Every structure is written in structure tokens, then in C-alpha cells.
Amino acid sequence: MDNITKTELDNVVVRFSGDSGDGMQLTGTLFSNLSAILGNEISTFPDFPSEIRAPQGTLGGVSGFQVHLGSSKIYTPGDDPDVLVVMNPAALKVNAKFIKKGGVIIFDADTFDKSGYDKAGFTTENPFEELAISDTIQLIPAPLSTLTQSSLEGFGFDNKTVLRSKNMFALGLICWLFNRPIDQAIHFLQNKFGKKPTILQANIKVLTDGFNFGNNLHLTVSTYFVEKSHETPKGKYASISGNKATAWGLIAAAQKAGLQLFLGSYPITPATDIMHELTARKDMGVKVVQAEDEIAGITSAIGAAFAGSLAATNTSGPGLALKSEAIGLAVMAELPLVVIDVMRGGPSTGLPTKTEQTDLLQALYGRNGESPAVVMAAGTPDNCFHYAFMASKIALEHMTPVILLTDAFIGNGTSLWKLPKLAELPDIKPHYVKPDMENYKVTSRDEKTKVRYWSVPGMEGFGHRNGGLEKDYYSGAISTDPENHQKMVDTREEKINNISQYIPELKIEGSTDADLLVIGWGGTQGHLMSAVNSMNKKGKKLALAHFNYINPLPKNTIEIIQAYKKVIVCELNSGQFATFLRSKVPAVEFLQYNKVQGQPFTVSELEEHFTSLLK
Amino acid sequence: METTEKIRNQYTAKDFKSDQYVRWCPGCGDFAVLSSLQKVMADLGIDPHQTAVISGIGCSSRLPYYISSYGFHTIHGRGAAVATGVKVANPELTVWQITGDGDCLAIGGNHFIHSVRRNVDINVLLFNNQIYGLTKGQYSPTTKKGYVTKSSPFGTVERPFRPAELTMGARGTFFGRLLDVDLKTAQMTILAGAKHKGTSIIECLVNCVIFNDGAHGWLAEREFRADRTIALEHGKRMIFGKEGNKGLVLAGMNLKVVTIGENGITENDILVHDASCEDTTLHMKLALMEGPEMPIALGVIRDVAEESYDAAVETQIAEVQVKSKIKTFDELIESLEQWEM
């Protein structure tokens, strides 16, 4: 014990890595949740292989789960891990290049044998030397498999079942390393396995043994402690993924608007969890049609919107491409519709499990004809809730399709979520026809906002024929009149532009007299915020303008951007938002920082690049 | 507007006519189906504002503009999916889908088979003129092999779909067929389709005077129609013909036309139509009969009772709601693992 030191850290990054079947996600989730209960800020990110179950112990089967804990506000799951837990040599090989100097690697020594090395493609018997990390890393070898086996002796489980509890041994060990009492973990296990007492007992036993194993280690190793965060506003919190938050934002909006929620959906990575969340909510009357394809997903939703529901469809890039024509129909029919695109690496099938921001121009322009739609983007896992809610509100109050962009990173990642109450959320008032309205036509609209009045089947006296053909502005009948078409095109455009009056103005983070204005949008929010804050703490002068509303842009956008000498647009694509901004603010020279690798930014690469611009 | 001062549920066909000028070519078979539909809508007595007519793209898909109800002219091929959304969102509505052989069976083929498979309670009028009319005369998935069209100047080399086979292959619960000029059978068939709970496929044999005139001419000719078609009715013997003396019997595995009074055949030998039989074998045989040996089957060929998709969705929601404690968003939030900070 004498050699074990206790280091207090402001924040720490832990990555759990193993085979897809090793239960790393559960271990990571339990660890981050119990840290949050003890007062830490948390942010997590899973990293799945696209294969469901690749051969055990091979590089292709490695799946990871990263947890970032902080005693002050944290915005990302962290760049490189301080602590790496690897369940086999393959997991070591995949992650070795990321571990921080001086970091700790806990590894299952039982899997570090000839067979394990072969499967991972190591050519020697010392993988740490082979990876040239043996001098810079602290190693904690723990024969997790045999220790778990002896821990569960007498339980009468078969070996396969026994080894499934290895992850609990690792969790116990991690709790020791971070000076965490295990009571909270036990409490979680009681909730999870309460109905299976033997499994519960077994997991608690292994967890406790893992913790005690750490306690009895006689190694020169540092343990860590992360103090409570005092920056987190008081209140009730939970950990939530972006996809779940998105689904729940729709649920909240439906209840607020007094409408039934309908989702038309076709499974697609990484967006499917939104459907899973919603179809589980039959208790709240949510209707989900798992459609025969992406097109039926959106067109069934358009049917539901026509029939008076809050209608949504969720997808990823390839699916958004298939939905293009139907989004055009919703534009033309002026129906409320929420289209959620959880972006992934493209083009084509691309990198289905990896993150990118490459669908922006598709969302803005990927339709035939002059076809304006609202485009928004959530920035963090927890604010997916807010933006899904706001997307619904805008769709219903302005009678338009709204495309909400999230991505694999924030969709699958989790963050701390301050729990909302329905009463605290803004009202949603669908733009219904007024009951006393005379001579209603399908094109009847509020002349000021250009928003069409919504009448739905069942309302007596307001029957109408809607459709994708151009309509006469006044009578709503089919029209090919040249001037009328111009007027209708202009009207649809004006209706969308007018929404800028109803969305919040752009707010600047950091200093107003900054030497560099950093511009971002959507899921890069955490990384950009962390980089800008960190540099400002070091005495640099940076500002961040992060966009969640893209079409229309906040009405003070031009004014803000023009106030800075140097402006850089950072995004996970080749410059799509920069291109868009150039069309809106032509006088400004926009620098770009782009990355298209299927991975989020790292805070360190951003800081490095910004620093180079300030020289 | 469709507000009426009349006693509810008392309608005439006129109450379902919109103020729009009907823009089909003079002589088009679609006119007859439109007026049959309006007549059936009146007979059903369902309020126009509780009626939704959904279509895709094509000549026939203009139909919703001509019905004074809620209507939606959507995009090519997707009518079935839009109609599914409408019906699931509000099962109280009576939902009609208007489609053509191209809209339904080419670009919309996937939605067609899946709406039939799910058995969504929508009434589908499938206008089959065996040609693309609106794009001016290309062959469709139902055009007879060898037929010369603008896109098949040397004759098509494609084998056509037979809508009845697709419907039954997709486990359809209702299949009927009508001929544009045979108003009585048409109305009877549409009415039965409307009353059926589930996806009702009604194949409407319509004539395109411009691009495929006489496609159904063989059976449409007034003087031969009674001999060349048979209007099937559930529970009735399969008797047809100008003299009412022809009938269908089984000969081995196949249907055969016989004449009552000849070769010792009596009326009692003639098959009785059972539209409600779950097994598709005989329905398929009837639906696929072709001239000149056999009459073309019209009327309700198949009408099998089974729970509709939209009803099943409602039932499942009700079952879950009885068991769950979560009713509101705030209760949903409470169900999360959460902590004070």
C-alpha cells in the first residue's frame, strides 16, 4: 500500500475496451453513473465496430466505451484516456496509440498469452514493448478470468456464465483506482438484477472481489480522485444519450401540443435507437410504423401529419437521400414534419458507425425545385432533447418540414442531463384553422407570417385537397400560372425566412474583442467549447459562435461575424457550413478547419490549430 | 364547402362531387369509376369530412381533386404508404387510395405489397389500363407481352404482373375486380371493399381511349359482356351468360365452363362462391381466368376476415397502457435512474 499514491485530478478519461461481448458498455455506464451520483460531471462515448460479433480476440471485434469525469464543467468524452482497461491483446493494440503518457493500463493477464497475441497480430511475447509503451505507462496486470472464476466458485455456473462477470471484476478494480466506494455500484446492480437473485449475488461478489484485489495490490501505481463538481447547477440529473434525448424531445413536444406522436421509420445505423425508444412508449400512445423502406418511413409520417399528428421520421445520410422527394412534398403541401438525420460517415454506405457532419448541404439543398425547409442541429447529447422539442414546435407553428441534424457522436454519446418538467417547456400552438373561418382554402394563410392554416380530416367544413402540384395562391386549386408560381415560391421562402424572428439570437462564448472567432455547428459543440475555454484560460482571446439554427440563421448572424478580424469555420466535413456562410455573408473571409475521418475533433488538435493562427 | 345542413349520414353522390373540373380525356374509363365511387360514398353514409382520399401520381391519381372530402395527391408510388400513415394516425377515418398500374405496381410495388401484407384498413382502387397515360403511352407492368407502345416499338419483351396474384401472394384479405362500363358490378364491388376491414384491393379495368384503346375491349363489348364475364357473389352459384345457363365447375384441379341442361349438368352441379375462404387456391383460379375459353371474373373474389393493422396497433397500445404506470412526460422522467447534484 505504501507505494500507492493518490492523485487529485480536475478531470480524467477512462476507456474500457474489449470484445463486443465483454460488457464494456455496461461497465462504463455504471462507472460514469456512479461518478455522477458522487457529484462529477460526466460525458461518455461508445465506439462500436460495425460487425455485430467479429471473431473473439481479433482487432475487428474490439469495441470501446470512453468515460470522462470532471470536477468542473466538461463538454466532451475526452481526447486520450488516462486509464485504459483492456480485456485482451487486440484491445490493447487498437487503443495503445491513444493512451496518455504516464497513464495506467489495466489488462486481463489471462488473455495475454500466445493465442491472444497471435489473434491480435503481435509477433513477440511482449506486446507492451512491441508497441513501445512499456516505459511510459503504468501497468496493472490482473488475471481477470481466473480471479472471476475463483470468485464465483461454488455458485454452480458454467464457465461461460462465470466469464460474463469479468466486467464486474474490472469495475470493482476501477472503483478502487478512483477511490470510489462500491455501495453505489451495488445499488445499480440491485436495480438491474433485482429479479434474478443468484445473478445479483454473483455480480456483487465479483465486484467486491475486484475492489479488494485492488486494495491488496502491492504495486507502484497512482490512484486518482476527482472532486465533486461545483459548477453544475443544482437539481435532478440523469445520464442520457443523444438518441434517447431526441426521442424524448418529440414525446414532450407531442404532449405539450396536445397531439398524438407518430414515427415512420426504417432501421438504419446510427439512428435506430430513436425508433427503439419511441416504440417502447406505447404507454404514452406513441405510434410507430416500422416501414418497408426509408421512403415509406417518411411518407407514412406525411400521411400522419396530414391526418393531424405530430409526425416524425428518423434516419441517417443514405436514408435522407431516399427521403428527398418526400421532404419536397411536405414543403409543397406545407405540412408539419420533423425529419431527424443522425449523420454518419458517407458517401454511400460509408462508415455506418462513425460520426461526420457531411449531410448539411444535402439537408439544405438536396431536393428538386425551390424547396426551402428549416434546418437545425443539436450540439450535445443532452441538448438533443431541446432541439427535438424546438424542431417539433417550429414544424407545428410554422407548417413546414424541419430537418434536425444530429450525428453518431452525440447520438450514441451520453452526457449529464438536467431533468426538465413539462410545465417549464415553452407552449406549442399548432397553426390550426380558426373554427369561425369562412371560405377556407388549402392555401389560406396568415398574411404576416405566411403560415398556412392547418385543417385536419375530421374537422367539418374544412375539407380540402392538398398535394404536390403547384396551387393557386388564393383558391388552392391546381395552377400552372407563371406569376402565381413565382408568388408561391416566394411565399414558401418568406415563410421559412420569417422563422428567424422566432428563434434565439446567436450568442458568443468567450471574449467579444477576440483575435479569432471560431464558428461551429451541431455535434462539435463540446470540443469547440473546450478548446476555446481552455485557450482563454491560458490568456488567449478567442470567441465561439456555435450554430444550432442553420436555416434560417439567427437574425444577428451577419452582425456578429462581421465584428471579428479573423474567422474560422470548424466542421467534420470538407467545408459545407463555410460554403453556406459564404453565400450569406460574402464580405467575410472564412478560414476552415476540416476533418473527415469518421471521428470527432480532439480538443488538442483544435487548440494546436488555433494557436498556429494566432501567431 | 362540404358543410351540409342535412340530417347526418344522408348523402347523395352529388355531396361527394368537388367544384373542380374533371380533367380526364373524353371517353376515359376513369369517369365511370369516379361516379361509381361517389355513389358508393353516398350509400356508405360516411361524412365527407371523415373521408380521406389519397393518391400517388398518374391519370387516375388526379381523382382526389374531384371528391369533396379531405384529399391528398401525393408523389409517385407512395400513396399506399401515405394512406397507411393517415389510417394509423386516425383509424376513425375512412381512407381510400387511388392508384394506377404504374403508380401501384411499378414505382409503388414495394408499398403495395407491404400495405397488403399488413392489412391496413384502406380501400384501394387500382385503375388498370395497362399503359402509362400521363407520360403519354409507355408500357406498364401490366401491359400484355408483345404489345407495341412508345417505349416498346417492337413489342414489350416483359412478362406482365397480374394484380390478383400479387395481392394474394402478399396475403391479401380482399380482392375484387370491376369493369368501368359495368356500373352495377362496379358499385357492388366498391361497396364490399369499403365494408371490408383490411386492405381491399379493387382492380378497376379501365379503358385508355388515347394510348391503349380497347385493352379490355373483348369483355367490355356490350353484346358479349354477359358471356365473357362473371360477376361473382359470395354464397351464390357461379352462373353467368346471356341466357344465365353457363356455370363453373371443378374438373380435376381446374375450373371449367359448363352449360346447365347439357350433358346432365344441373344448377346444383355449379360451384358456390365462397369469398371468405382463407385458402387462396380457388380464389386465385377464379381471378386468373382468361378468355376466350373462360369468362373474366368480376365482383368480390376474395373477402376474408382478419384483424387490420391499424386495429392491432390500437389494441396493443391499449394493452400496454393498462399495465404501465407511465402516462405523462413527467412520469416518464421520473422513471429514469436519476440523482441530485
Read off the pLDDT of residues B152-199 as tens digits, 9 standing for 90 and up.
Answer: 999 999 999 999 999 999 999 999 999 999 999 999 999 999 999 999
| Min distance A310 CA to chain B CA atoms (Å) | 10
Is the pLDDT assigned to residue A218 strictly greater than 80?
no
The sheet with strand A567-571 has its strands ordered as: A508-510, A542-547, A516-521, A567-571, A590-594
Is the pLDDT assigned to residue A46 strictly greater than 90?
no
pLDDT in tens, B19-70: 999 999 999 999 999 999 999 999 999 999 999 999 999 999 999 999 999 9
3-state secondary structure of B320: helix
Whether chain A has a CB inside 8 Å of the CB on B69: the answer is: yes
Give the nearest partner residue to A289 out of B50, B88, B330, using CB atoms: B88
Q: Do A289 and B340 touch (CB under 8 A)?
A: no
Is the pLDDT assigned to residue A344 strictly greater than 80?
yes
pLDDT in tens, A381-438: 999 999 999 999 999 999 999 999 999 999 999 999 999 999 999 999 999 999 999 9
Which run of H or of E encompasses A325?
helix A317-333
Give the nearest partner residue to A234 out of B20, B50, B341, using CB atoms: B341
Q: Is residue B226 in a domain?
A: no
A528-548 mean pLDDT: 96
Q: Do B333 and A420 touch (CB under 8 A)?
A: yes
Chain B residue with minimal CA distance to A310? B89
Is the pLDDT assigned to residue A305 strictly greater than 80?
yes
Q: Is residue B283 in a domain?
A: no
Band of the pLDDT at B4, cuts 50, 70, 90?
very low
Q: What is the number of structural domains in chain B?
A: 1
Please count the residue pairs, one from chain A and one from chain B, whose beta carbons lie less than 8 angstroms apart: 212
3-state secondary structure of B115: helix
User: According to the model, what pLDDT value does residue B8 have?
Assistant: 54
A45-72 mean pLDDT: 83
Separation CA B338–CA B341 (nearest Å):
10
Q: Do B54 and A285 touch (CB under 8 A)?
A: no
Give the nearest partner residue to B86 out of A188, A240, A303, using CB atoms: A303
pLDDT in tens, A367-380: 999 999 999 999 99
Give the nearest partner residue to A300 out of B52, B68, B82, using CB atoms: B82
CATH number at residue B210: 3.40.50.970
| Min distance A255 CA to chain B CA atoms (Å) | 7
Is the pLDDT assigned to residue B245 strictly greater than 60?
yes
Separation CA A466–CA A433 (nearest Å):
15
Q: Is residue B251 in a domain?
A: no
Is the pLDDT assigned to residue B6 strictly greater than 60?
no
Structural domain of residue B148, as residue ranges?
13-220
A5-226 with A508-614: one CATH topology? Answer: no
- β-strand partners of A236: B340
Contacts of A479 in chain B (CB under 8 A): none
Give the nearest partner residue to B49 out of A234, A311, A459, using CB atoms: A459
pLDDT in tens, A89-106: 999 999 998 999 989 999
User: According to the model, what pLDDT value does residue B239 have?
Assistant: 98
> Which triple of cell numbers denotes residue A237?
440529473
| Min distance A161 CA to chain B CA atoms (Å) | 27
What per-residue string of b and e applies to B303-334 under the rule 16 or more CB within 10 Å gives b?
bbeeebbbbebeeebeebeeeeebeebeebbe
B257-266 mean pLDDT: 97
Q: Is residue B324 in a domain?
A: no
Q: Is residue B179 in a domain?
A: yes
Q: Is residue B320 in a domain?
A: no
B106-117 mean pLDDT: 98
Separation CA B187–CA B33 (nearest Å):
9
Which of A250, A300, A464 to mutate: most B Cβ within 10 Å? A300
Alpha helices in chain B, H assignment, sequence order: 30-44, 79-89, 101-102, 109-118, 163-169, 183-195, 217-220, 222-228, 281-287, 309-323, 329-334
User: According to the model, what pLDDT value does residue B3 have?
Assistant: 46
The CATH number, out of the four listed (3.30.413.10, 3.40.920.10, 3.90.550.10, 3.40.50.970), of the domain defined by the range A5-226: 3.40.920.10
Q: Which of A455, A456, A305, A457 is nearest to B93 (CA)?
A: A457
* Vertex B329 angle, CA B323 and B330, to 5°: 100
Interface of A with B in 39-68 (CB under 8 A): 39
- ipTM value for the complex: 0.96
Whether chain A has a CB inside 8 Å of the CB on B4: the answer is: no
| Min distance B113 CA to chain A CA atoms (Å) | 10
Whether chain A has a CB inside 8 Å of the CB on B82: the answer is: yes
User: According to the model, what pLDDT value does residue A216 have?
Assistant: 87
User: According to the model, what pLDDT value does residue A592 have?
Assistant: 98
| Cα-to-chain-centroid distance, residue A518 | 21
Whether chain B has a CB inside 8 Å of the CB on A468: the answer is: yes
Q: Which of A420, A332, A316, A323 is nearest to A369 (CA)?
A: A332
Q: Do A281 and B332 touch (CB under 8 A)?
A: yes
Is the pLDDT assigned to residue B280 strictly greater than 70?
yes
**Contact indicator for A466, B74 with CB cutoff of 8 Å:** no
3-state secondary structure of B195: helix
Whether chain A has a CB inside 8 Å of the CB on B148: the answer is: no
Q: Do B81 and A299 touch (CB under 8 A)?
A: yes
Interface of A with B in 234-273 (CB under 8 A): 234-240, 248, 251-252, 255, 260, 262, 264
Which of B5, B22, B333, B341 to mutate: most A Cβ within 10 Å? B341
Q: Is residue B245 in a domain?
A: no
Contacts of B327 in chain A (CB under 8 A): 283-284
Whether chain B has a CB inside 8 Å of the CB on A383: the answer is: no
Give the amino acid at A550.
Answer: I
User: According to the model, what pLDDT value does residue B56 have?
Assistant: 98
User: According to the model, what pLDDT value does residue A21 have?
Assistant: 80
Q: Do A464 and B71 touch (CB under 8 A)?
A: yes
Q: Do A463 and B54 touch (CB under 8 A)?
A: no
Interface of B with A in 191-230 (CB under 8 A): none
Interface of B with A in 97-126 (CB under 8 A): 110-111, 114
Whether chain B has a CB inside 8 Å of the CB on A396: the answer is: no
Alpha helices in A194-241, H assignment, sequence order: 197-215
Which of A282, A368, A389 to mutate: most B Cβ within 10 Å? A282
Q: Is residue B248 in a domain?
A: no
Query: Rounded to two decimals, what is the model's pTM?
Result: 0.95
Domain boundary assignment for chain A: 5-226, 238-424, 508-614
3-state secondary structure of A341: strand
pLDDT in tens, A3-38: 567 888 899 999 999 987 888 888 999 999 999 998
CATH number of A238-424: 3.40.50.970
Separation CA B9–CA B276 (nearest Å):
29
Q: Do B329 and A303 touch (CB under 8 A)?
A: no
| Min distance B332 CA to chain A CA atoms (Å) | 9
User: According to the model, what pLDDT value does residue A512 have?
Assistant: 83
Separation CA A148–CA A209 (nearest Å):
8
Contacts of A240 in chain B (CB under 8 A): 336
Chain B residue with minimal CA distance to A285? B317
Band of the pLDDT at A2, cuts 50, 70, 90?
very low
Q: Do B72 and A306 touch (CB under 8 A)?
A: yes
- Backbone CA torsion sign across A264, A267, A268, A272: positive
User: According to the model, what pLDDT value does residue A430 have?
Assistant: 98
Q: Do B84 and A307 touch (CB under 8 A)?
A: no
Separation CA A258–CA A496 (nearest Å):
24
Is the pLDDT assigned to residue A565 strictly greater than 90?
yes
3-state secondary structure of B323: helix
Contacts of A326 in chain B (CB under 8 A): 75, 78
pLDDT in tens, A477-508: 999 999 999 999 999 999 999 999 999 999 99
| Min distance A22 CA to chain B CA atoms (Å) | 23
> Which triple of cell numbers denotes residue B203?
382492380
Give the nearest partner residue to A238 out of B92, B320, B336, using CB atoms: B336
Chain B residue with minimal CA distance to A229? B341
Q: What are phi and psi of B57, to 5 degrees?
A: -130, 145
Chain B residue with minimal CA distance to A228? B341
Which of B24, B70, B113, B119 to mutate: most A Cβ within 10 Å? B70
Q: Do B92 and A304 touch (CB under 8 A)?
A: no
Interface of B with A in 19-38 (CB under 8 A): 20
Q: Do B71 and A465 touch (CB under 8 A)?
A: yes
Task: Considering the domain delimited by A508-614, tell me its CATH architecture.
Answer: 3-Layer(aba) Sandwich (3.40)
